Amino acid sequence: MLAPNDQQIFLIDGDDVVRDSLKVLLESHGMPVRDFRNAAEFMSEGSVPRAGCLVLGYNRAIADGLELVATLWRRGATMPVIFIVGGGDATTRAAALAAGAFAYIERPVEETALLRAVTAALARKNGRTASADQAIATASLRG
């Protein structure tokens, strides 16, 4: 079992309804979630989390998410990042993956795909790569 800090999900999404729905989904599967409306609110927390997983939800404004990820990594964060994007295309997906995103999921979010991606990201982060690779391979990561 992962230590609580190792399985913390940081969820950023500007859409209150979507953010609340994703939070309920993840928490219903035993995942602790801290949610934020935007990158500025997340960054106002002060210290950069080094464990857990970051789930970024964007509608077309993925540049903000890419900038956040670059900032976090410059500050020493190593957590996996999952992008959830509405209105994305192949170029957007390529930019996210090139920036080091663990996964890229298009909206509307398929619950199973998100759960598998988060589980795989946490497993890989914590050294369980075989199960992570299997889980990510079966996730429906659209693009």
pLDDT in tens, the chain (143 residues): 334 567 899 999 999 999 999 999 999 999 999 999 999 999 998 777 878 999 999 876 677 889 999 999 898 888 999 999 988 889 989 999 998 899 999 999 999 999 999 999 999 876 655 444 444 433 434 44
Q: Both tokens of residue 5?
A: 């800090």
- Helix ranges, 3-140 (H): 16-28, 39-43, 62-74, 90-98, 111-125, 129-138
Tokens of 17: 């309804």
pLDDT computed for residue 4 by the predictor? 52
Please state, in angstroms and as integers, the Cα–Cα distance from residue 50 to each residue in 8, 10, 85, 134, following that order. 10, 11, 24, 24
Give the pLDDT of residue 142. Answer: 41
Amino acid at 43: M
Confidence (pTM)? 0.84
Q: What integer pLDDT is reported at residue 128 of this predicted model?
A: 56
Grouping H, G, I as helix, E, B as strand and the rest as coil, residue 100 is coil
